[in-house]
Amino acid sequence: MYTIFVMMKLNKSAIFNIFFIAILAILIYSLLKIIYPFFSPIFVALVLALLYYPINIHLRKKGFNDIVSAAIATLAVFITIIIPITFFSWNLLKESKELYPKTLSYLNNNQSLELTIQLPSLIKSETLDFKEIALKNVEQIQNKIVNSGAKILKNVFFFLVDFFVMLFTLFFIFKDGDRFLKWMVELLPMDNAHIYMILNQFYLTVKAIAKGVLLTASIQGIIAGVGYYIAGISSTVLLGTMTAFSAMIPFVGTSLIWAPVAIGAFFFKSKAAGIFIAIWGFFVVSLLDNFLRPILIGRETKIPFFLLFIGLFGGLRIYGPMGLFVGPILVSMVSTFLDIYREQLKNKNQNN
Residue 33 has pLDDT above 50, yes or no: yes
What are the two backbone dihedrals, phi and then psi, of residue 105, each rounded to the nearest 5 degrees? -65, -40
314 with 222, same domain: the answer is yes
170 with 194, same domain: the answer is no
Look over the chain and give the mean of its residue pLDDT values, rounded to a whole number. Answer: 77
What are the strands, taking DSSP E only, across the chain? Answer: 116-118, 127-129
Residue 238: the pLDDT is 79
Half-sphere exposure of 286 (CA within 13 A, CB side): 17
293 with 207, same domain: the answer is yes
Least reliable range by pLDDT among 164-168, 331-335, 345-349: 345-349
Residue 263: the pLDDT is 84
What span, in angstroms and rounded, lies between the C-alpha atoms of 336 and 209? 17
Total domains, the chain: 2
* Domain assignment present for 236: yes
pLDDT in tens, 76-92: 999 988 888 888 777 76
233 with 256, same domain: the answer is yes
The answer to whether the predicted template modeling score (pTM) of the entire model surpasses 0.85 is no
Q: Which of the two residues, 191 and 151, has the higher pLDDT score?
A: 191
219 with 286, same domain: the answer is yes
255 with 344, same domain: the answer is yes
Structural Rg of the chain based on CA atoms: 27
The range of the structural domain enclosing residue 336 comes to: 188-352
* Domain assignment present for 317: yes
278 with 161, same domain: the answer is no
